[in-house]
Structure 1
């Protein structure tokens, strides 16, 4: 147990120090690509962090919160955007970067780091837990499910880092708003699929990706486009509205079936709890 604690103290210290580096150095760097370049060591450390843990469940959870979400919070921070820009001190920066938290409005930054109960209470009162799920079982469409109800933490981060910038670039290059939204949505889902593929890579101990996870999200994007077109056609033709319960059942059935086929089966085939190696980026393993 003592050896395991020693082994874990190193990656934890690396993450905390790399976030400290990002907070202090990036604050004094010109926003934009300069910050991104100087934060490359931090991004690298975040990618190897999950390998220090032997449990496949822990690797999956940490790759989501640390490798994916923390990295995607740092990216907009490089351009003075995103939730990390509201942080006034290092403790706030670490808490918001790692955990599903946001700083509450109308609160004042604490001036001391003493570990008294009163101070800890005031510190925790500054944070608000981000709602991860908003009753996904009530979704009446794929757009409602993925955009407003399922994993709102990753949805918000993807919107800030991928969807909105992509849409702005496409509109700025004389692409219609409608087409820009569709292309931005599909791009966002492809990136989401790649990040989920990375999570499965950690869970399966570095097994070569089958890309089924990525295709799952591509399929969701194509289906949302088809869904939107069908709704538009129904409005134009004046078809009789279908009861929301029918859409609810169809949405949940489609998501459940595709989820089982593209996500559950790959993990079932290749997931292992013990990798048998310590942290380092390894070549794909058969």
Structure 2
């Protein structure tokens, strides 16, 4: 355990030092080629840095934070865009926090309409703004524009309790169907990822003293794939992929095809990049040659999302399934395809076994503490009487 922690701390200290260098480069070099040449070596180092971490879980977290999020933020920073760029420039502590952690400051919740929403439906100037923003979910009009901060402690406590229940089930896995265990792993990954990112968010919130947006927005309530991937699942990744991948591809294709449909190849490109970044993270975790199943998972969802967007534009948002019907269909599709294409890589990298052992170990620890405290309390009462 000591070696695991030492390798983890060494990587993070090195990463912070490199980010301090990037912050200084931002002060000395103008945006563009000069800054790119100065920061590109850091991006390359971040791509291989997690491999030196011994612990699987710590390697996975570091790979996600630095190889993906930090690198994409730095690439935006090269051109004075993204969360690392501001006027006036960010202080060093804020720069490090926004570069290292998956956080985003909560914006003023003023209703705005994006060009994409305007393309989705044809509206007159006098049409209600709220109806335009919420064309996809007319049954919950306030959801898209309501201010959102970090979730309640009860929300996270219930999800943590679910992980504990999963741990007890894992101890009886010999009596449970393997497919059901695989299904639990899918839910386990979602809950664990949300809790880990929430802890990073809480730490950053305490240090920076600002309100942060949640990284997840109850994806099991998604009314469509567009709602799931665009507004509910891992929102920090969504906010990074949009300016780095989606917008450039969409802008490029707008010169060749109608602007209304330029978002379709942009969606496919975004999901392709997401799949490749997941493959890189899994390579860091398992140190095995990729079989591209994860990339196929994201390409499948990108293709299905393109179909969904196309249908919505053809019918101009005039019809849609109620959320009570749509949500189970969307979540069911995500879970089934994840079990088919995503989870084999998870199992091959032994992430499932690691998660199972960590959960069971925690349960055993809590049980041991309970037994110890119970014995101490009983002995204390015996001596008292």
- TM-score normalised by L of structure 1: 0.81
Q: How does 1:187-266 map to 2 (within 5 A)?
A: 187-204=269-286, 206-234=287-315, 241-266=320-345
Residues 268 and 302 in structure 2, CA contact (< 8 A), matched pair in contact too: yes
Q: Is there any run of 5+ residues in structure 1 with no aligned partner, and where?
A: 107-119, 275-286
Name the structure 2 match of 1:282.
Answer: none
* 2:31 matches 1:31: yes
Name the structure 2 match of 1:116.
Answer: none
* 2:83 matches 1:83: yes
Q: With a CA cutoff of 8 Å and minimum separation of 6, indicate the structure with the bigger relative contact order.
A: 1
Q: How many angstroms apart in 1 are the aligned matches of 2:315 and 2:107?
A: 42
Q: How many angstroms apart in 1 are the aligned matches of 2:271 and 2:3?
A: 41
Bigger drift between 13-22 and 44-53 goes to 44-53
Q: 1:61 to 1:121 in 2, by over 3 A?
A: closer
Name the structure 1 match of 2:98.
Answer: 96
Q: 1:255 to 1:47 in 2, by over 3 A?
A: same
Q: Is there any run of 5+ residues in structure 2 with no aligned partner, and where?
A: 109-202, 355-385
* 2:226 matches 1:143: yes
The number of residues matched between the two structures is 257
* 2:247 matches 1:168: no
Q: How does 1:42-53 map to 2 (within 5 A)?
A: 42-53=42-53
1:230 CA displacement: 3.3
1:9 CA displacement: 4.2
Residues 56 and 271 in structure 1, CA contact (< 8 A), matched pair in contact too: no
Name the structure 1 match of 2:368.
Answer: none
Q: 1:15 to 1:122 in 2, by over 3 A?
A: closer
Pick from 237, 243, 261 the counterpart of residue 179 of structure 1: 261
Residues 94 and 208 in structure 2, CA contact (< 8 A), matched pair in contact too: no
Name the structure 2 match of 1:134.
Answer: 217
1:248 CA displacement: 1.4
1:261 CA displacement: 1.1
Aligned residues: CA RMSD: 2.7
1:235 CA displacement: 5.4
Larger Rg, first or second structure (1 or 2): 2
Q: 1:65 to 1:128 in 2, by over 3 A?
A: farther
1:226 CA displacement: 1.6
